[in-house]
Each structure stands twice: as structure tokens, then as C-alpha cells.
Structure 1
């Protein structure tokens, strides 16, 4: 499975995004199963709405919640607590709390690849960042 982060979802659906061509081509060519988290979905849909991309937010949300885009990993209370510890431990990094939840899930599920434009994923060390 390949973990997908906010920036990749956003870029794949917003033609004005500088990474749109890369993201849309990658999604169209990918044959591996995808996974994302409820926190990434929240961040993505909120970003779309804040950028006045309401119709795209609704379309993407429909794709998420119909199960056609990716498996959704819902964080447990324990994972949220672990993410909080990561957030506190790595205070020298500019990782968002959502980044920290992603790190916890990636490590827990032993994922080796992530589709992300966020340079913070390259700091996780345990993951190969695509594309």
C-alpha cells in the first residue's frame, strides 16, 4: 500500500496547482492500493474549502467516503497520543500535527512508500517519497 498525503490529493484535483500534472498522471498510472487517514482527509477537504474549491471538495469527499479512492485508516486514541508524543519530541521540525499522525500510521503499518509533495515526509527517514 502507498500512503497518500494532503498535498498529493489536493494537487490531483486542482488544475491550477503547480503539481497538478504530476499528481494526476501519477494517480492515473498507479496500480497499487492506496491508504490515507481521517486526519489527512480532514486537512485536504478543509484546504479545498478554504481555497474556494467547494465543488472539488465535495467530489473528493464523495470519493473518499464511497471507498473508491483509498482505504481510510481511522486513528485510534492510542495513535493520537503517540502522534502527540512525536509532535512534542520533534519540536525542532515544522511538522504539523497531521504530519505526526501520518508518521505514526506509516510506522505502525510498516508502509514503505508515500505519495507526498510535503518535504516533511522526506524527514521521516523510514519512507520513500513518490513520485
Structure 2
């Protein structure tokens, strides 16, 4: 199972994004089967907000209708949220988001090692990244 981050979702949908060709190659090269991809409700929220802001509602609809159905959505509960907030405060860094830290905690809980992402923080926190 591969975790999918906002950066990958966004790069897939924005043809002008610098990472779009690489994202498309990964997406088309590894057609997801049921249960192969996972993300969190926090990533969905962040992705929809970013898509709406930068590309508009048509991109949000494509995301909802064509991409999201291929991923299992893990819902962040109070425990994971609290752990992510504690890690966020402890990290004391700009650029590292609460969404990232909740993703890392979710990946650890599910035993996931790889993420489809263009965010360097995943590697910094010990995860493999695709591409």
C-alpha cells in the first residue's frame, strides 16, 4: 500500500505544475488496484482547498470523482490528531505542517513505508518516496 500526499494529488491535476509529468508517469505506470492507495481525510481537505484556490472547482470535481475513489481514506481520530499536534509543536519548524505530521503518524500506525509525494519531509522522517 502506498500513501498519497497532497503534493502528488495536486501535481496530477495541474498540467502546469513542474512535477506533473513525473506524477502522471507514476500514476499511469502503476494503475492502482483496490486497496493499493491510502490517504487521510486531512490530506483530502488540504488537497481540495489547494485545488479550489489554484485551479477552481472543476479540478475539485475531477479530484472527487476520478481520483479519490481509487484511494482508501483513513480518518484521523482524536488520538492521532493529538499525537500530530504534539509532534508539530515539538518540531518547532516552519514549512512542516500538521497535515504532514498526521500523515506520518497514520503511515506508522498502518505499517506503510512508501508515499507518492513530492514533499521532502517524508524522506526526512524516514519514509520512501515515489517517484
Tell whether the structures are fold-level matches, with TM greater than 0.5. Answer: yes
Note the C-alpha offset of 1:63: 3.4
The whole-number CA distance in structure 2 between the counterparts of 1:92 and 1:7 is 19
Question: What's the CA shift string for 1:67-105, capped at 9, x where partnerless?
Answer: x32000011111101111111121146311101111110
1:86 aligns with 2:87: yes
SS of aligned partner of 2:3: strand
Equivalent residues, number: 128
The answer to whether the 8 Å contact 2:14/2:55 transfers is no
Matches within 5 A, 1:1-131: 1-31=1-31, 33-63=36-66, 68-92=69-93, 94-125=95-126, 127-131=127-131
Unaligned ranges ≥5, structure 1: none
Aligned CA RMSD, in angstroms, stands at 1.5
How does the TM-score come out when normalised to structure 1?
0.91
How does the TM-score come out when normalised to structure 2?
0.91
Task: Quickly say closer, same or farther: Cα 1:64–1:12, change in 2 above 3 A.
Answer: closer
Give structure 1 regions of 4+ aligned residues with deviation exceeding 4 angstroms.
Answer: none
